[in-house]
Amino acid sequence: MSIARLPECRSWRQRRSGLALSLLLLALAASPLRAQQQAYVGPLFDAHLHYNEEAQQPHPLADVLGRMQRSGVRAIVANSRPNDGTQTLAAAREATAAAGVRVVPFIRLYRNRADYNSWFADPSIYQMVLDELKRGTPAGPYRGIGEFHLYDSANADGPVARQLMQLAAERGLVVLAHVDDVAIDKLMTHAPQARLVWAHTGIGGTPVERVRALLQRYPALMGELSYRPGLTDGSGRLSADWRALLMQHSTRFMIGSDTWVNQRWQYYEGLMQEARAWLGDLPPEQARRIAWGNGAALFGVE
């Protein structure tokens, strides 16, 4: 019986393996095509960019502008440690215009690495911010403060953190803060009218539900998405819960490169390409807002 059925079995197996092969070929053919078709192709607003002291020699102005231009980045939030890097970008009016990049300057709170851990209680930092505001930049007045870090959310209650939040609210400056969710509550309590951009939207992996609750609680809070754990799955596509959050609040998020070390400059184009890939998982109008429109609206860039 088994011998009699053998030819039939074999032919069925052959058919089955033929089908499997066809499906595999289809999948191989379709996956790069799918990624290519779906990637977001419009302009990008890099809402979290540093041009720090150590980046400027290996990546001079022409190099960083070339990377932005090749990536379709049309505007940047520029800040640096110390603020000279931002001044350099802001002063290069012709070069930035030629590259099609608008510079939105922010005041960084750090003169050096030591300032990362003490700025919130250091009155000389507040004075430096006032001096920088008075000085302005060749690209116009500073538009924001940050990025600053609070590794312990209790320091959000430090005197300088409080003063800077209130200054931001008074002068209409945007604040870019690398903090946890507890510090978001604290900073917003100091200045409920302040426009706060949450760098990384919780780099420690704040649960999506908590992010959603904070966005609903503070209408002026926005999230920048570099380094956000869980944003994408292993293949670089948006995870289901983040896709739902971004679709629900598509006016509240921006993308960023966070070029905090030179390696991030080295891979700048790749980082922007990764963003384009997951942006492609959103409806086109919402992708464009997160990629460009929200930053453009926040800073009045056309």
Query: Is the CB of 28 or the CB of 261 nearer to Zn ion?
Result: 261
Q: How many CB atoms lie within 10 A of CB 275?
A: 26
| Tokens 């095509």, located at residue | 33
**HEC profile for 271-298?**
HHHHHHHHHCCCCHHHHHHHHHHHHHHH
Alpha carbon distance 252, 11 (integer Å): 58
Q: How many residues bind Zn ion (CB under 5 A)?
A: 3
What is the nearest approach in angstroms of Zn ion to the Cβ of residue 275?
15
Closer Cβ to Zn ion, 256 or 293, answer by number: 256
Candidates 6-14, 56-64, 147-155, 181-189 — which segment interacts with Zn ion by CB under 5 A? 147-155
In the complex, the smallest distance separating the C-beta of residue 81 from Zn ion, rounded to whole angstroms, is 10
* Residue with Cβ nearer Zn ion (110 or 286): 110
Nearer to Zn ion, 46 or 147 (CB): 147
**Residue placing its CB nearer to Zn ion in the complex, 202 or 280:** 202
**Window 250 to 289, contacts with Zn ion (CB under 5 A):** 258, 260
> Nearest approach, Cβ of 252 to Zn ion (angstroms)?
19
- The stretches of 136-267 forming alpha helices (DSSP H) are 159-171, 181-190, 208-217, 240-248, 262-266
Q: Cα(57)–Cα(74) distance, rounded to whole angstroms?
A: 23
Quote the least distance from Cβ 48 to Zn ion, whole Å: 6
Contact pick of 115, 147, 180, 224 for Zn ion (by CB under 5 A): 147
To the nearest whole angstrom, how small is the minimum distance from the Cβ of residue 258 to Zn ion? 4
**Distance of alpha carbon 142 from alpha carbon 151, whole angstroms:** 25
Site mask for Zn ion (CB under 5 A), range 103-142, x = bound: ----------------------------------------
Q: From CA 23, how far away is CA 18, in angstroms rounded?
A: 9
Does the protein bind Zn ion through residue 224 (CB under 5 A)? Answer: no
**Which amino acid would we find at residue 122?**
D
- The whole-angstrom separation of Cα 211 and Cα 110 is 27
Q: How far is the CB of 238 from Zn ion (least distance, A)?
A: 22
Which distant-in-sequence residues (6+ apart) come within 8 Å of 39 by Cβ? 273, 276, 277, 279, 280
Residues that bind Zn ion (CB under 5 A): 147, 258, 260
